[in-house]
Amino acid sequence: EVVLTQSPGTLSLSPGQRATLSCRASQSVGNYLAWYQQRPGQAPSLLIYGASRRVTGIPDRFSGIGSGTDFTLTISRLEPEDFAMYFCQQYNNIPRTFGQGTKVEIK
Amino acid sequence: QVQLQESGPGLVKPSETLSLTCTVSGGSISNYYWSWIRQPPGKPLEWIGFVYYTGSTRYNPSLQSRVTISLDTSRNHFSLRLTSVTAADTAVYFCASRAYNGFDSPYDYWGQGALVTVSS
CB distance A98–B104 less than 8 Å? no
Residue B99 has pLDDT above 90, yes or no: no
What's the CA gap between A7 and A103, in Å, rounded? 10
Instruction: Check residue A28 and give its pLDDT.
Output: 98
Instruction: Check residue B102 and give its pLDDT.
Output: 83
Residue B31 has pLDDT above 90, yes or no: no
Residue B24 has pLDDT above 90, yes or no: yes
Residue A83 pLDDT level (bands cut at 50, 70, 90): very high
CB atoms within 10 A of CB A36: 25
Residue A71 pLDDT level (bands cut at 50, 70, 90): very high
CB of A74 closer than 8 Å to CB of A19: yes
- What average pLDDT score do residues A82-87 get? 97
CB distance B108–A89 less than 8 Å? no
What's the CA gap between A57 and A42, in Å, rounded? 19
Q: Inform me whether the C-beta atom of residue A3 falls under 8 Å from chain B C-beta atoms.
A: no
Pair type for strands B91-97 and A45-49: unpaired
What's the CA gap between B21 and B79, in Å, rounded? 4
CB of B46 closer than 8 Å to CB of B58: no
- What average pLDDT score do residues A63-84 get? 98
Residue B112 pLDDT level (bands cut at 50, 70, 90): very high
Q: A residues 44-73 near B, CB within 8 Å?
A: 44-46, 49, 55
**Amino acid symbol at A31:** N
B6 DSSP β-pair partners: B22
Residue A81 has pLDDT above 90, yes or no: yes
Residue B101 has pLDDT above 90, yes or no: no
CB of B71 closer than 8 Å to CB of B29: yes
CB distance B61–A95 less than 8 Å? yes
**Amino acid symbol at A13:** L
Long-range (24+ apart) CB contacts under 8 A made by B47-55 are: B47/A95, B47/A96, B47/A97, B47/A98, B48/B80, B48/B82, B48/B93, B50/B104, B51/B78, B52/B104, B53/B29
Helix (H, G, I), strand (E, B) or coil at A70: strand
Q: Convert the pLDDT of each residue in A30-54 to its tens digit.
A: 999 999 999 999 999 999 999 999 9
Average pLDDT, chain B: 95
CB atoms within 10 A of CB B120: 9
Q: Convert the pLDDT of each residue in B36-84 to its tens digit.
A: 999 999 889 999 999 999 999 999 999 999 999 999 999 999 999 999 9
Interface test with A, best of B45, B46, B110 (most A CBs within 10 A): B45
Candidates A42, A43, A98; nearest CB to B44: A98
Instruction: Check residue B88 and give its pLDDT.
Output: 96
Residue A8 preceded by cis peptide, ω within 30: yes
Instruction: Give chain A's length.
Output: 107
